[in-house]
Structures are given as C-alpha cells and as structure tokens.
Amino acid sequence: MTEREAFSLTSRARSFGHAFRGIGRLLATQHNAWIHAATTAAVLGLALVLGLGRWEWVALLVAIAMVWVAEAFNTAIEQLCDRISPEHDLLIGHTKDVAAGGVLIAAGVAAIIGFLVLGPPLLAWIR
C-alpha cells in the first residue's frame, strides 16, 4: 500500500485541470457530445424563456447531468476497451454496447423529464 500525498491546493488545482482536460477531450472527440451540448443549450434557453420554478430547474439540471455523466463514462469505457483490445473481441464489443445502452437510457429518461417539465408551460406560452 502506498502512502497518500499530503493535501495541497496545488495538487487539487492539478486535479481540476485533469478533469477540465477530460471534458475538453469529450467535446473534441465525441460527436454525440455535440448533440448533448446543443440539446443542453436549447433546454436551458427554453427554461429561461418559460421562467421555470426552482424544482423544475432542479429536475432539468439533474437530467442534463445524468446524460453528460453517462456519455463521459461511455467514452472512458470505449477508450479503455480500445486500448486493451484493439482487435475485435466479442466480450469487449458487448461491454461497449452496454455502456452505449446506458447513455441511451439516460437520454431517454432525460427526454421524458424534459417533456414533463417543459411541455405544460410551453403549451401555455404558445396559447
């Protein structure tokens, strides 16, 4: 077992730097992340226009975060699988499919939450 590094603000800042670099890599390399970014911007813009309440914002933000986290984990799993087994491997393929399925589930649930939260005030605003 290794001894833990002492806490320092410099090491914490480096950790945040690594995390931001990962987000940048996600956006730079994943086409689906571009779709998530556009959808996030549209949903947040619509929520602002509609003047949603606090709990509606909470529901939307949790749904948005769920999709982004799922996409980040999916990307990390895919990249790790590609490193471990660059050639086709059935079990690696199943692993990548399951990870992609997690993103699909998250996005589907987020869409339902979006319709439930944004639908009624949007219809009222249109009328």
Per-residue burial over 104-114, b if 16 or more Cβ lie within 10 Å, else e, is: eebbeebeebb
Exactly one of 56, 71, 78, 87 is catalytic; name it.
71
78 catalytic? Reply is no
Residue ranges of alpha helices (H) inside 30-53 are 31-50
Q: Cα separation of 120 and 79, whole Å?
A: 40
Coil, strand or helix: which one is 127?
coil
Q: Quick one: which of 94, 30, 95 has its CA closest to 67?
A: 30
Catalytic residue list: 71
